[in-house]
Amino acid sequence: MTAKHTTADLAVGDSPTELARIPLYAPSVGDAELRNLADCLAKADLIHGPWVGAFERRIAGYVGCAHAVGTNSGTSALHTALLIAGVRADEEVLITTMTFIAPANAIRYVGAHPVFIDVEPVTWQMDPARVREFLTHECYRDQGITINRLSGRTVSAIVAVHYLGMPVDMAPIQALADDYRLVLIEDAAQALGTLYRGRRVGSIGRLGCFSFHGNKLITAGGGGMIVTDDPALAARARYLINQAKDDPVETAHKTVGYNYRMTNLHGAIGCAQFDRIATHIDAKRRIAQRYAAAFEGVPGLSLVPEAPGAHYTCWLSTMLVDAQRFGLDARQLMAALATQGIESLPLYEPLHRSVAHVGAQVVGGARAERIATCALSLPSSVGLSDADQERVVQAVLAAHRAAM
Ligand SMILES: *Cc1c(COP(=O)(O)O)cnc(C)c1O
């Protein structure tokens, strides 16, 4: 097994001219994963076993939280976090409109409603100014509770999604959450390792959530985690994800729980991956820097800059394509790259445009729509070789030349 995907590894067909596909983000796995998995299999510890606790302790220590609870996905971590944060049906939760849909869906799982917030222009994260505008102008307070004038519903939480590995500007959001008595939950699925003012994201709000899906910075082959400093919340999370089992022997249940636990197999892979986390971050940052250097001076291309005070993990290198100046729009460039076997993807559709969340309130939204039209993510696998990245760069430059 190799830790890198090279052109040679992925070569398909017999034709020497047929180019190997360069994926957007492929996991990087090695012998350590195999050894840890062999340990699970040798002991037949597939579900319960020591690797989950070991992985939880590593993540808790790394992000700087007292407790971590492993789950079977990032989405189930978010669902559980909302439940234990006390978000109830018919309440409202503020969330960026620009994110993968999972955290918005989790809000709906508890019967609550997302209110979508537009992004700030520099790093495309939830705009604290829009959050303030909504809370001060569109809500009123009744006995300490924040109520949305338009819907009449209680606003009870904010989910801060650190999008593309960059941090949300947490200080003003935390201040607003405190002022309006909203629970602050972080979705750091794309931002494990990212620092905001010297703190790892996920450790700033009441609860933080991570994902170990195959496309994340480190993967466990699936799985997620909830982190918190609050021992009662951690205990409640562990209880709910284990079918709300009240007694180790008797099957007595006082509430409806979930089968959301992380398996020992996932924990074993996660531990092996975790040991290489610094290498993965270095690789991602190097990839982003190389793209930035290669495209500097190319008319109409710009990569997202690093926010002041942040150290970001560059989970996915994404650039804005100005069609007028570059000669192709983002989707035309995507098609041109595809002919060269290079995978690139536009950003997610802003959620206030999603049919799945039709009718949800949005605060602003035009900025997210503009970014979603122009943004294109480029291959960013930890194992992307220099030669393969050079192929991506040359394909982008060739598309530009051909279009001008
Ligand atoms: C990947 C991701 C999730 C969901 O994680 P899963 O493990 O796939 O359920 C949630 N939020 C964001 C921002 C993500 O990128």
Q: What is the DSSP string of 11-58?
A: --SS-TTSPPPB-S------HHHHHHHHHHHHHT-SSSSHHHHHHHHH
Residue type, 230: D
Contact 48, 268 (CB under 8 A): no
> What's the gap in Å between 59 CA and the centre of ligand 1?
17
Helices (H) and strands (E) in the chain, counts: 14, 17
> What's the gap in Å between 246 CA and the centre of ligand 1?
29
Q: How many other C-beta atoms lie within 10 A of the C-beta of residue 250?
A: 8
Contact 115, 133 (CB under 8 A): no
> What's the gap in Å between 278 CA and the centre of ligand 1?
21
> What's the gap in Å between 36 CA and the centre of ligand 1?
24
Q: How far apart are CA 127 and CA 324, in angstroms?
A: 27
What pLDDT score does 17 carry? 56
Ligand 1 closest atom vs CA 76? 9
- Grouping H, G, I as helix, E, B as strand and the rest as coil, residue 224 is strand
Q: Mutation test of ligand 1: which of 72, 98, 201, 213 has the most ligand atoms closer than 8 Å to its C-beta? A: 213
DSSP secondary structure code for residue 123 in this structure = T
What pLDDT score does 13 carry? 46
Work out the burial of residue 132: count CB atoms within 10 Å of its CB; fewer than 13 is exposed, 13-18 middle, 19 or more buried: middle
Q: Whose CA is nearest to atom 12 of ligand 1?
A: 189
For 62, 106, 168, the CA distances from 79, given in Å and listed in that order, are 23, 5, 20
Phi–psi pair at 332, nearest 5 degrees: -70, -40
> What's the gap in Å between 42 CA and the centre of ligand 1?
31
Tell me how long the chain is: 404
Q: Mutation test of ligand 1: which of 190, 207, 218, 260 has the most ligand atoms closer than 8 Å to its C-beta? A: 190
Q: How far apart are CA 64 and CA 404, in angstroms?
A: 50
pTM of the model: 0.94
> What's the gap in Å between 78 CA and the centre of ligand 1?
9
Contact 162, 201 (CB under 8 A): yes
Beta bridge pairs of residue 115: 94
Residues with CB under 6 A from ligand 1: 73-75, 99-100, 102-103, 161, 187, 189-190, 211, 213, 224
Q: How far apart are CA 349 and CA 104, in angstroms?
A: 13
Contact 155, 146 (CB under 8 A): yes
Q: How far apart are CA 188 and CA 74, in angstroms?
A: 9
Element holding 331 (H helix, E strand): helix 330-338
Contact 296, 302 (CB under 8 A): no
Residue type, 324: Q
Low-confidence ranges of the chain (pLDDT < 50): 1-16
Q: Whose CA is nearest to atom 5 of ligand 1?
A: 74
> What's the gap in Å between 192 CA and the centre of ligand 1?
12
Contact 281, 313 (CB under 8 A): yes
Residues with Cβ < 8 Å from 237, sequence gap 6 or more?
Answer: 69, 80, 81, 84, 226, 228
Ligand 1 closest atom vs CA 78? 10
The residue assigned the tokens 């290669």 is 294
Q: What is the DSSP string of 169-210?
A: -HHHHHHHHHHTT-EEEEE-TT-TT-EETTEETTSSSSEEEE
Ligand 1 closest atom vs CA 190? 15
> Strand 113-117 and strand 362-363: pairing?
parallel
Q: How far apart are CA 223 and CA 225, in angstroms?
A: 7
Nearest Cα to 342, choosing from 398, 303, 288?
398
Q: How far apart are CA 102 and CA 222, in angstroms?
A: 14
What pLDDT score does 4 carry? 43
Ligand 1 closest atom vs CA 161? 13
